[in-house]
A and B are shown apart, each in its own frame.
With several copies, the nearest count.
Chain A
Amino acid sequence: MRSFINAEKFIALLEDGMSIMVGGFLTNGTPEGLIDLVIESNVKDLTIICNDGGYPDKGVGRLVVNNQVKKVIVSHIGTNPMIGTLMSEQKLEVELVPQGTLAERIRAYGAGLGGILTQTGLDTLVQEGKQIIEVNGKKYLLEEALGADIALIGGAIADNYGNLKYNKTMRNFNPLMATACKVVVCEPRKIVDKINSENVITPHPFVDYILVGEYND
């Protein structure tokens, strides 16, 4: 069940070596206030799972620039040249995942599936090291479920019960990640009294903590 926490309590949740899922698409829907606090905590050796590498001065890109990241699992790094540089210097591990596969792997973890079968990535580099499964004469890649220690959720409108809906395109990976981590923390854009039961996107039992304080706009 959700509870409202402040910056200090959030920082206390962080540890070196954690895997962290961060919502947002090219930082649209990324909780920048929580990123600020991860930087403040200065925890190291993080594995970051996000749609993309963000920008050097925005989103998860800031954690890379601040040298807190050991590995990124993303679909795209083109907007953050620092990642490509660190990768070629072998200072950062980069796992590139097709965007739809990334979404389904995260959803699969949240839904208790071991994995999913997809044709995306067949006969490409993405296939390397993966099981190929045949179903009714068609070949599929087995893509394994992907979970993490903590999810940082942004772009949300929260209600007093801890339910979330999302602002416009800020939804993207946020509701998926909110199902796939041991601890789920949301930095809402605003808090309303109650979201209509038919319009809730992330029901409150998925949410552990909601950050309150100066970080909400």
Chain B
Amino acid sequence: MTDKQIIAARIALELNDGDLVNLGIGIPTLVANYVPADKTVTFQAENGIIGLGGLVEDETEIVNAGGMGASILEGGSFIDSATSFAFIRGGHIDVTVLGALEVDQEGSLASWIIPGKKVPGMGGAMDLVTGAKKVIIATKHTNRGIPKILKKCRLPLTAAHQVNLIVTEMAVMEVSKAGLELLEVHPNYSIEDVIKATEAELIINKVLPMKGLSDEN
């Protein structure tokens, strides 16, 4: 499994039968490939789909939130942007999975701007992080060795104190009131490796081997 597949497969285990889920662009999109067959998960695309299906080349009438040709599943519906964000902001999305530039031990996320360098804009990310019931960050553990999991985000925030779980190719970490707890570590790495690659202080109690690695795809 590639690093991206490891992250996506692990996050898929967090989805429950019946959940309504919004996946961000990039690694988060891959999570859809790992939903177990015995669970029915409905995907939402913030441009206005309940029941997003897979990508469809050359499709121009149905697109996903990345503007790519997509499909809608049986039982799905098309909605306007206000209704779409009513789902997102009204707490009707059970899980959102998003990428990060930085994420910190307080559960704050930075993902939409590098001042003076790159300003793509926040799109729907601020709404998703603020409104979804559970926010999971899917990210490489470091940016070429530079920690992305920090004590406190240095880039402008997407939202403060909203992240619940961080999943990287190295580890699974949960944000609680006490701080950031290291829950699982990938067998390729030691706990020490993770600590070294992480700027945030990690609470270490019982650490398990990372789940979901057997479900190759």
Contacts and interface: CB of A to CB of B under 8 A. Distances in A.
A98 interface: yes
Contacts of B79: 171, 200, 203
Interface residues of B, number: 59
Interface in B121-141: 121-127, 130-131
A100 B75 contact: no
A96 B157 contact: no
B91 A112 contact: yes
Q: Which of B40, B63, B90 has the most CB of A within 10 A?
A: B90
Interface stretch (B80-88, B143-151, B167-175, B201-209): B80-88
Nearest to B70: A169
A165 B175 CA distance: 40
A26 B89 contact: no
A60 interface: no
Contacts of B65: 25
Contacts of B67: 25-28, 79
Given A1-B40, A172-B47, A197-B77, A126 B126 contact: yes
A178 B204 CA distance: 43
Interface of B: 17-18, 20, 40, 42, 44-51, 60-63, 65-67, 70, 72, 74-92, 113, 118-127, 130-131, 156-160
Interface of A: 1, 25-28, 51-52, 74-79, 84, 87, 94, 96, 98-104, 106-107, 109-113, 118-126, 159-163, 166-176, 179, 194-195, 197-198, 200-201, 203-206
